[in-house]
Structure 1
Amino acid sequence: MKILVAVKRVIDYSVKVRVKADNSNVDLTNVKMSLNPFCEIAVEEALRLREAGKATEIVVVSMGVKAAQDQIRTALAMGADRGIFIETGDAELNSLSVAKLLAKVVQDEQPGLILLGKQAIDSDNNQTGQMLAALCGYPQATFASKIVVEGDTATVTREIDGGLQTLKLSLPAVVTTDLRLNEPRYVKLPDIMKAKKKPLAVTTPAELGVPVANTITLVRVDAPAERSAGIKVESVDALIDALKNKAKVI
């Protein structure tokens, strides 16, 4: 079985995000970029399925500016077999455009399982996996905390507000991964060097025949309001008075 894993280039989770002075967007100047953590979990799960004998090939796909190839190389260094990069330049892609491009790759590659992170830590949309499943007509399971593949089915435990839900899907299927699914492996230097020699195909939306016109306009970006400083009180009565009359929470 072939597994297709979609990954995204995002600002590293450890970086403090800055907003541009004109509030037009997030400032990416000299900012460290990394593989989206949820996508990294998806890659790790694909590797574990291959190690368990459930998969024979892992293909990683990403899109965006040329530098996004670095994130594909990271996935290849983890152990993926080959990569596909769709160069879209600086074009702002909404979730539907991304899903349409991925659907074309699915059509060409015919994987038995498609894995995606449940969301990207930059936009937090949590939409692409669901849209991709709808476009492909495949069953889907989101927020996966456990995946078991047996034959032509996948049993997925997913995290929901009320606890855990278990679904049994016929393959091919789309699964989005949650944080508790696994812990990604550490990439060693020799693996990074080997990844440079692994095949990475480059294409464009035009070559795929998929229009990617963005239908969403970013109006403004603002940093979160800073929290006000706390106060000290001298007694329980003063605390109750502050919570009631100043904070107005009781």
Structure 2
Amino acid sequence: MSLRIVVCVKYVPDATGDRRFADDTTTDRDAVDGLLSELDEYGVEQALRIAETHGDAEVTVLTVGPDDAKDALRKALSMGADKAVHVNDDDIHGTDVIGTSAIIAKALETTGYDLVVCGMASTDGTMGVLPALLAERLGVPQATLLSEVTLDGTTVTGRRDGDAATEQISATLPAVISVTDQSGEARYPSFKGIMAAKKKPVTSLDLDDLGIDTDTVGLTGAWTAVETITARPARTAGTIVKDEGEGGKALAAYLVEQKFI
């Protein structure tokens, strides 16, 4: 039986766009273009490297999101993943990370897996807790925030770089891992890969397929909530210190006033 690697990816608003909240306090995804989370590209890359080294492996990319989230899946497929799974349901709108982890866990149980690979965080929510929540729900070990990953038989090993030390972490499959943006540059899709991605299978699932009660997800089932929203204030003009012979003193006085020195 081939090694089953599943990469969890997310379709996120472009960080360079003008991101805003909608009237229901969720992110207004219609107001800005979306794309595959850059940090998830590192997860796809590490999954592909493991598959190439292993020889007999299949890489599936899995996402939870609206119709446009297929764009994120196509990007991952064009990088080299074999197939994709898209969980899409109107009742998912507004789901927080707790509910999302429940949805993904059910999807993983449906698709089957040996190794689940995640990015270190999404570029919109930036919580970074999804891999741990997944491991807990699935009842499997986790090895998170890895900057280097290898697979030997049924043991996955990685290096975690901390502020004061470097750790070597290992887990026995099935397992959940997450990788950082230091794990290796993600490959660019080739023209051949882009064309091939159009023919790769994408399976669609909804909450009924996963046996999930709609009351446990969405805004109704969310464990967290945004209470108030305040727009970022407009940028004001900076202070200009003119040097007319006393510029140094004026600059020093300004720095002292601002408590910079």
TM-score (norm 2): 0.86
**Partner-residue secondary structure (3-state), 2:85:** strand
**Partner-residue secondary structure (3-state), 1:71:** helix
1:249 aligns with 2:224: no
CA distance in 2, matches of 1:187, 1:49: 18
Counting only pairs closer than 5 Å after superposition, residues 5-24 of structure 1 correspond to structure 2 as: 5-13=7-15, 15-19=16-20, 24=25
Which of 212, 221, 229 aligns to 1:221? It is 229
Structure 1 position 218, deviation (Å): 2.4
Q: How many residues align?
A: 248
User: For residues 22 and 112 of structure 1, do their structure 2 counterparts lie closer, same or farther at Cα, with a shift above 3 Å needed?
Assistant: closer
Give the residue type in structure 2 aligned to 1:118. Answer: M
Structure 1 position 23, deviation (Å): 9.4
Q: Could you say which residue in structure 2 is the equivalent of 1:179?
A: 181
Q: Could you say which residue in structure 2 is the equivalent of 1:103?
A: 105
**Partner-residue secondary structure (3-state), 1:215:** coil
User: For residues 127 and 109 of structure 1, do their structure 2 counterparts lie closer, same or farther at Cα, with a shift above 3 Å needed?
Assistant: same
CA distance in 1, matches of 2:123, 2:136: 23
- Which string of whole-angstrom CA distances, capped at 9 and with x for unpartnered residues, describes residues 156-194 of structure 1? 111323242221111211111111111111112332221
Which of 141, 149, 152 aligns to 1:150? It is 152
Counting only pairs closer than 5 Å after superposition, residues 65-84 of structure 1 correspond to structure 2 as: 65-84=66-85
Which of 215, 240, 246 aligns to 1:231? It is 240
Give the residue type in structure 1 aligned to 2:222. Answer: N
Q: Could you say which residue in structure 2 is the equivalent of 1:133?
A: 135
Which of 143, 161, 164 aligns to 1:162? It is 164
**In 1, are the aligned partners of 2:40 and 2:118 still within 8 Å (CA)?**
yes
Give the residue type in structure 1 aligned to 2:194. Answer: I
Give the residue type in structure 2 aligned to 1:248. Answer: K
CA distance in 2, matches of 1:144, 1:54: 22
**In 2, are the aligned partners of 1:153 and 1:169 still within 8 Å (CA)?**
yes
Structure 1 position 238, deviation (Å): 3.5
CA distance in 2, matches of 1:136, 1:160: 26
Structure 1 position 98, deviation (Å): 1.1
Q: Could you say which residue in structure 2 is the equivalent of 1:91?
A: 93
CA distance in 2, matches of 1:24, 1:95: 15
User: For residues 153 and 54 of structure 1, do their structure 2 counterparts lie closer, same or farther at Cα, with a shift above 3 Å needed?
Assistant: farther
Counting only pairs closer than 5 Å after superposition, residues 59-70 of structure 1 correspond to structure 2 as: 59-70=60-71
**In 1, are the aligned partners of 2:26 and 2:94 still within 8 Å (CA)?**
no
**In 1, are the aligned partners of 2:110 and 2:210 still within 8 Å (CA)?**
no
Give the residue type in structure 2 aligned to 1:172. Answer: P
**Partner-residue secondary structure (3-state), 2:64:** strand
Give the residue type in structure 1 aligned to 2:226. Answer: L
- Which string of whole-angstrom CA distances, capped at 9 and with x for unpartnered residues, describes residues 7-47 of structure 1? 1000123x232435979454434522110011111011111
Structure 1 position 244, deviation (Å): 2.0
**In 1, are the aligned partners of 2:19 and 2:32 still within 8 Å (CA)?**
no
Q: Could you say which residue in structure 1 is the equivalent of 2:252?
A: 240
Q: Which runs of 5+ in 2 are unaligned?
A: none
Q: Could you say which residue in structure 1 is the equivalent of 2:54?
A: 53
